Structure formats: C-alpha cells, structure tokens
Chains A and B, each alone.
Chain A
Amino acid sequence: MIATPGARRDRWISVLVFLALAGLWQILSMVYTAEAQPGEPMVAGWQVLFTDTFLALSDYWPGGFGVPAVGDGAERSYLAALLSVLSHSIDTIGRLSLGLALGGGGGLLMGLAISWSRWSRRLFDWPLQFLRTLPLLAMVPLFQLWFGTSFFGEVLFVAYGIAVIVFAGTVNAVRNVPPIYLDNARSLGASRLMLYRTVILPAIFPALRSTILLSLGAGWSAVLGAEYLGAQSGLGYIIVYAQQFAYLDRMFFVALLFILYTSISYWAISRLFARLLAWAPPSQRR
C-alpha cells in the first residue's frame, strides 16, 4: 500500500479507535462491577484478563512437555497457560487448514468439471443452489450424527462448508469468462483441455479472490461449529466449557485470540493474492 498522507492519518485514527475501545472496556469494567457468579466479573478489566484469566487457561492444558496438567493436581502456571493456548490454537488452525485445502481443492475441481459444458452446468444448477441456501452451521447436528465427534468428521464439515462456496464461485467465474477469449483460442485450434489450462484457469483466478476470502470466513465459522459440538480440543472447546460455567473473562480472552487470528488470516490471504495477481489488470485486482 502506498502511504499517502490520508492513508497514514487513517491508520493513526484506527490505532486510536482501538485504544479508545480498550479504554472504554476498562472504564466499563470499573463502573459496571456486576458478577456473573461470585468472583467472576461480567466485564473483566485488562488487569484481570492478563493475569487471572490467562492463568485460568492452564486448566485446559492436558499435560506434556514436562508441564503437568492442572487436572492432575499441579498448580496453575503461566507456562501451562501459554502451552494450553498454543496447543488449542494449533488444533483449531490445523482443522481449518486441512478443511481449507480439502474443500478448496475439491470445490475447485468439481466446479471446473461441471463447467465442462453448458449441459452439465444446467444439470447441476438447482441442486447446487439448494445446497448453498442450507445454513451451514445448522447442519452441524447432521454431521455429528454421521461422523460422531471424530477429527475426520470435523475436518470434513469444514471442508464441506468451504467446498460449497468455492464450487459455486468457480462455476460463476467460468461462466463470466468473456466468450471472446474462448472463441479466439478455439479458432486457433485449442482443444478443450488446452482451453482450460491456458485460458479458463488464468481468467477465473482474479474472480476467485473474493470467493476465497468469503470461504475463509465460512471456514472460521465452520471450524468453531465443529468444535462446539463435542470436540475435545481447540478454541471452540474452551469457549463451550467456559460458557457452561459462565466464565465470561475466559470467553472474552478466546474471542480476542479469534479476532487476532482471523485478522491475520485475512491479511495474509489478501497479501498472497495481491502478489499472485500482480500480472492482472488493476480493474480485476481490487
């Protein structure tokens, strides 16, 4: 990004806005001291979040690396809390990445296959549209029935959520390839396979950018949904258990982690696409 004076000013303002929000939260925690249960503030101030709350997260450390679990009688410690946060984050991110790879690849391949001809596209149009309308998270119970609470089932759920979006995005993008490109290549004698490799794939790539960003959001949602209902690890698991005992401060801590992770993932994917799309005309890059 080019740092024009306006952009630099905006960046300062957004930093200030976040600082102001953090300050507001602190003031709220001091003014509104109601407790969800004894010793558990409804609005936890930062001094609580980074000491007691963080320490409490060591409850979710299953033990290992020479750091015993709190469940086995050990004291809460910052090291166990850190390990706990890291291991549960890695579990969640692992599920998400596997689901992204599986769903993204599968959705793309299926989308390309169905775009093979106008006939196949029409044949699959309505079932596809219907699957897209079904609310993803409301399907968690169904996946749980099918696959139980296995790791495979969780990944598959994420993959399904992503595949549906990528699939629809691919079909749409292929349909929007200007016919003149295709006619041109065809008149020069390109076979259907060559057409795919040299014309269609590069042409749909810019359009897939927004599809991928959309599916990333769905993926974060889906991985939480999968963990919400029965997983034994991951950030969703922590939220579920914290919610049962109304540990609002732990929920808030995990929510902050989530905001951090989602922001980083969006930023990383945008940067990756900006780099990969350096060749595309600016109107398609956005």
Chain B
Amino acid sequence: MTSAVRPEMRSAPRATLLSRLRTALAVLDPLRIAGVVLFIAVWQMLTLGLPPIILPTPLGVLQRVFSDFLSAPALSYYGVSEANLYGNLIYTAENVAMAVAVGSVIGVLAGLVSARFGLVRAVIDPVVMTAGTVPILVAAPFLLIWFGVGRASAVCLVIFYVVVILYVCAQRAATNLDPVYEDNARTLGATPRRMVRDILIPATVPEILGGLRIALAGAWGLEAIAELLGSQSGIGKVLEVLAGATDPQGIMATLLVLGLTAIVVDGLAAFAIARTAQWSAPAR
C-alpha cells in the first residue's frame, strides 16, 4: 500500500464522523431547545396563578416522575398490582409489542393478498374500512365482557387497530407498485415465488415499515385506554387510579413517562427502519 492512497482512506471515515457530528448538532437545534424552555416557562407562569390541584408545577411533576418511577407505594393501596411506574410501563410495553407484532403480520399478509386478488379485496375492504372507523371506546366494552378484564382484551383491541393500519398500508404499497417491474420479471421467466421474493417484498417493505411506525405510535395510546377501562396493571390502570384520587401531578407525571417512552421507541424505530430499508427513498 502506497502512502499516496492513505490520505484518501483516512479522510473517508473522518468525513462520516464529521457529518455525523453535524447531524447530531442539527438535532440539538438551539432554537428548538429554546422552544422547550419557553414552553416550560409558560407552564411555570400559569402555575403562579392557578392552585396546584389544577395545574402542578413542572418541577413538581419531574420530581414525581423520579420518585414514582421505582417505587410508588400509594398505588398498591388502590389495587394496582405493581406499585411503581417502571413495572407498569413494562407491562404496557409488553402488550404493545405483542399486539404490534401479531397485528402487523396479519395486516401485512391480508393487505398484500388483497392487492393481488380482486375478489379477496372486494370481500375484506368493506369490513376493514367499516371496522376501522369504530372508536375504541365503542369496541372496548364488548371485548371486556366477552374476554374478561385482563391482558387478552387489551391486546386484542390493539391488534385490531394495528391490523387496519397495516392492511391499508400494505395494500396501497402493492397497488402503487409500477406494473412494469412485475411485467419485466415475468417476461424474463420469473416464477410466482420469485416474483414475491424479489419484487413484491423489496418494493413494498419501505412503505410497510412506515405504516408500522404509525401503528406503533398509535398503539401506546390505545393500549393505555384499554387498560384504563379494565386492567389490574399497566400505565392506563395507573392513570385511572390517579384520576380517582384527584392527583393531577401524578397524572401528568405518568403521561410524561408514557409520552417520553413513545418518543424514544419511535426514534429507535425510525433509526431501525432507515437501516433496514436503505435501498429505498421513502423509508427516510
């Protein structure tokens, strides 16, 4: 290896490191941070004029998050099986993960099949489109009575909405795929199996992953509300208990934990999707 090549080899990683640093700096936009500070300042100002039972102070809520995260004995008096936010968060996260995993498999398969077989589409479309518009609060009581109060009802409920979102996404991805790709492969003698493996899946995965991200973002709220209506643990149960105890500080602390978790998971999902679907523009 000659020395003439070396600077080039060295400069390549240095450039990526620099560009990475630059993107990291761009994320930490001072103006955006100023926005958050302003938001908290306005909140603090409002608390000066309102009693703490209506609006707790930002600092109080933050302290509450730290104190309740590992141990909140008060919760056990109200019948929450886990007396801390951490355990309930794990419970909620497990249900969300399970529901998104199962729901996306069903939704994607149904969506892809429906995009290629008109009859299947004509049968499933009206059902899914109608069912998808039913608000969760209408659907939840049925599941709670039919399956009882517990994990099964909540997970089934979330699965249902995840299926709807991914069905629509997968179907649209496959329908919008330019027929020229499949025609071309067919002319070159591709078998149906290879068409699915080499064309349909690579072409639709980016959009499906985008749909997965939307479903994941929505699943937290759906899971929380399902737990709020009937469950023994989970973030939703904590919210229900705190609402009964008229504790806005606790409610806000719990919402903050849930919101931050959803943001972090969404960020991780976005990163993972950008990694997995590098070949495609829409994934970014």
Contact surface of A with B, Cβ cutoff 8 Å: 6, 9-10, 13-14, 17-18, 21, 36, 42, 119, 122-127, 129-130, 133-139, 141-142, 144-146, 217, 220-221, 224-225, 228, 236, 239, 242-243, 246, 248, 251-252, 254-255, 258-259, 262-263, 266
Contacts and interface: CB of A to CB of B under 8 A. Distances in A.
27 contacts: A10-B125, A17-B123, A21-B127, A42-B145, A122-B32, A123-B31, A123-B32, A123-B35, A127-B38, A130-B259, A133-B220, A134-B221, A135-B221, A135-B225, A137-B137, A138-B235, A138-B255, A141-B251, A144-B243, A145-B243, A221-B135, A224-B135, A236-B137, A242-B141, A243-B144, A243-B145, A255-B139
A201 B228 CA distance: 40
A138 B258 contact: yes
Contacts, number: 143
Contacts of A133: 217, 220, 259, 262-263, 266
A236 B217 CA distance: 26
A255 B142 contact: yes
B189 interface: no
A220 to B, nearest CB: 5
A220 B146 CA distance: 24
B134 A119 contact: no
Contact of B35 (A126, A137, A254, A258): A126
Interface of B: 29, 31-36, 38-39, 53-54, 118-119, 121-123, 125-127, 130, 133-139, 141-142, 144-146, 217, 220-222, 224-225, 228, 235-236, 239-240, 242-243, 246, 248, 251-252, 255, 258-259, 262-263, 266
A139 to B, nearest CB: 7
Contacts of A144: 243
Contact of A119 (B31, B33, B220, B242): B31
Among A126, A137, A236, the one with the most B-chain Cβ atoms within 10 Å of its Cβ is A137
Given A14-B125, A141-B240, A259-B133, A224 B255 contact: no
B254 to A, nearest CB: 8
Interface majority SS (helix, strand, loop, mixed), chain A: helix
Interface majority SS (helix, strand, loop, mixed), chain B: helix
Contact of A17 (B126, B137, B139, B235): B126
A125 B32 contact: yes
Contacts of B125: 10, 14
Contacts of B54: 145-146
Contacts of B251: 141-142, 145
A126 B123 contact: no
A127 B41 CA distance: 12
A127 B240 CA distance: 25
Given A133-B263, A142-B252, A220 B135 contact: yes
B248 A142 contact: yes
A141 B34 CA distance: 30
Given A224-B137, A239-B138, A138 B35 contact: no
B239 A258 contact: no
Contacts of A242: 141
B136 A221 contact: yes
A137 B221 contact: yes
Contacts of B36: 126-127
Contacts of A142: 243, 248, 251-252, 255
Nearest to A14: B126
Contacts of A259: 130, 133-134
Nearest to B144: A243
A231 B222 CA distance: 22
B108 to A, nearest CB: 21
Contacts of B141: 239, 242-243, 251
Contacts of A258: 134-135, 138
Given A42-B146, A123-B32, A248-B142, A141 B242 contact: yes
A263 B263 CA distance: 32
B259 A134 contact: yes
Given A17-B122, A123-B34, A136-B221, 16 more contacts: A13-B119, A123-B31, A125-B32, A129-B263, A133-B266, A134-B221, A135-B224, A135-B255, A137-B137, A138-B239, A142-B248, A221-B137, A224-B137, A242-B141, A258-B138, A262-B134
Contacts of A21: 127
A246 B246 contact: no
A263 B248 CA distance: 36
A254 to B, nearest CB: 7
Contacts of B34: 123
Contact of A248 (B126, B145, B252): B145
